[in-house]
Chain A
Amino acid sequence: MKRLLGVALGILTAIGGFVDIGDLVTNAVVGSRFGLSLVWVVAVGVVGICLFANMSGRVAAASGRATFEVIRERLGPRAGLANLSASFLINLMTVTAEIGGVALALQLASSVHYLLWIPVAAVAVWLVIWRVKFSIMENVTGLLGLTLIVFAVALFLLKPDWGVLAGQALAPAVPDGETVPTYWYYAIALFGAAMTPYEVFFFSSGAVEEGWTVKDLVQSRLNVLVGFPLGGLLSVAIAGCAAVVLLPAGIAVTSLSQVILPVAEGAGKLGLAFVLVGVVAATFGAALETTLSSGYTLAQFFGWSWGKFRRPVQAARFHLAMIICLLVGLAVLATGVDPVLVTEYSVVFSAIALPLTYLPILIVSNDPQYMGQHVNGRAVNVLGMAYLVIILVASLAAIPLMIVTGAGS
């Protein structure tokens, strides 16, 4: 019974933890401009993140080594440092976007300006990282994030023409008024939102935090393989809501209030309350994960002591690094830069940096020195190579498309 509860909890947290500010904004933007014609990308992204998380989780459980230790060891110091710089900067951008997201959601709930909420959000993130037990942090934010299911509820209550939505999803076409490069630019953005590298840093380091061994592999696989696809469905519901309400009205999403507008229309005040809780929980949870990830990547590259399971004094540089990251994020947000804009760029840069983390994990998960008998099976490797190609193509195409489309405008 306890074991079953553990499994259920793991899956629920994976669903609630899947969606972050990147998914919220990108799916809503895409829904409001392209309808459901890019849903296939969410599917490709979800399969990819399942594969990636499965491999990195297996490496962590079998060898006790988290992702960035492996990256440094395999790529050596030069390529490793280039990788660290790229991953760390993008992660910092995501930290900034998530804290901004928390503040924007709190502004919608309280009508106090979001700039005033930003220090509150950052201090709260730090306090949780400083004091709260890892598993409690994971479960509370994950479970509260589940309230985002209200997007799916709202979609039903909006009574859309399901035939039209299915048509958009199953026979994807570039809508009138949008260009082919823009379509593909947003395809890469959606892919990056689903396969953010920080999720993998966090997932593999979390496995070490919670002391996973190979015995926990079955449960971890279940969490990922069930939780992430259901999280992906939430993403689709967000896009669906935007496609039903915003696309016909000609509103292209540029703010968080527009992201949740369809929920208010479909599910009323109660729905609005739920969605606000959900957005705060999802962005706050992701702010924790990204902040921890910035500490994880640095500590693992340089070999520092790290982990929330240690007292802060036993992982001093790790905690100091996270404090500095939060301060930098605060400073960036204090300039008044639009967090939604930061988010839109961060998902594309995530897609650009993805091969850097993906390749070493793909290689090490085949190395018996690390994995013992738990090396990748043939099916995982075939899929793994297919995704290596997809990830490389997305990464190489992202910058040209960004220039050609003026970042999707």
Chain B
Amino acid sequence: MILGDLLGTPVRDADGGRLGRVADVRFVLDGTPRQLMSEARVLGLVVSPHSAASFLGYERINLAQPWPLANLLRWRHRGSYLVLWEDIAMVGKDAVRLRPGFTRYSASLEDGGRQRAGDGK
């Protein structure tokens, strides 16, 4: 499938409740080593409850300058989290459905995942 089709798709829990939209797809390069780089396996989806628009790079990395902009963009992206591939039950045309009891992981790339979902408020 094409990744562009996945970005922006609504994400629902097992009961059909709305959680947000797919903001990004995370890969991990731990697959079979090929000629040049390892195979890139889908680790999970970054779900944003508020907006799936671009965040100009402020998401998930500790970019704090210039501060008024950084804060604004972080605020727009508050509450986003990562769900792992194992917790995805179905990828449909109009929605991604998660398995019951899925886990919300921190989507941060830099602080080792200790960030709280409410950060940036």
The answer to whether any beta carbons of A and B sit under 8 Å apart in the complex is yes
Give the total of A residues in contact with B, Cβ under 8 Å.
19
B56 & A363 in contact (Cβ 8 Å cutoff): yes
A375 & B65 in contact (Cβ 8 Å cutoff): yes
Say yes or no for B112: interface residue by CB 8 A criterion: no
Say yes or no for A116: interface residue by CB 8 A criterion: no
The proximity string for B residues 57-77 relative to A, scoring 1 for CB distances below 8 Å and 0 otherwise, is 110010101111110000000
B54 & A385 in contact (Cβ 8 Å cutoff): no
Residue of A nearest to B70 (CB): A366
List residues of chain A with CB within 8 A of the CB of B67.
Answer: 381
List residues of chain B with CB within 8 A of the CB of A384.
Answer: 66
List residues of chain A with CB within 8 A of the CB of B63.
Answer: 366-368
List residues of chain B with CB within 8 A of the CB of A93.
Answer: none
Residue of B nearest to A375 (CB): B65
Say yes or no for A360: interface residue by CB 8 A criterion: yes
B57 & A363 in contact (Cβ 8 Å cutoff): yes
List residues of chain B with CB within 8 A of the CB of A364.
Answer: 57
Say yes or no for A376: interface residue by CB 8 A criterion: yes
Nearest chain A CB to B71's CB is how many angstroms away?
Answer: 12
Name the prevailing secondary structure of the B interface residues.
loop
The proximity string for A residues 366-383 relative to B, scoring 1 for CB distances below 8 Å and 0 otherwise, is 111100000110000110
A362 & B66 in contact (Cβ 8 Å cutoff): yes
B57 & A367 in contact (Cβ 8 Å cutoff): yes
Q: Which of A30-38, A72-80, A168-176, A302-310 binds B?
A: A72-80
Give the total of B residues in contact with A, Cβ under 8 Å.
12
Residue of B nearest to A77 (CB): B4
B54 & A363 in contact (Cβ 8 Å cutoff): no
List residues of chain B with CB within 8 A of the CB of A385.
Answer: 66, 68-69
List residues of chain B with CB within 8 A of the CB of A76.
Answer: 54
A76 to B56, CA, bound (A): 9
A360 & B56 in contact (Cβ 8 Å cutoff): yes
Nearest chain A CB to B19's CB is how many angstroms away?
Answer: 22
Among B56, B57, B66, the residue within 8 A (CB) of A381 is B66
A74 to B67, CA, bound (A): 18
B54 & A376 in contact (Cβ 8 Å cutoff): no
Sample (14) of A-B pairs whose CB atoms are under 8 Å apart: A74-B56, A76-B54, A360-B56, A363-B69, A366-B70, A367-B57, A367-B63, A369-B61, A375-B65, A376-B66, A381-B65, A381-B66, A382-B66, A385-B68
Residues of B with Cβ closer than 8 Å to A? 54, 56-58, 61, 63, 65-70
| 19 further A-B pairs in the complex, CB-CB below 8 A; given A362-B69, A363-B56, A376-B66 | A74-B57, A75-B54, A75-B56, A79-B54, A363-B57, A363-B69, A366-B63, A366-B65, A366-B66, A367-B63, A369-B61, A381-B65, A381-B66, A381-B67, A382-B66, A384-B66, A385-B68, A385-B69, A388-B69
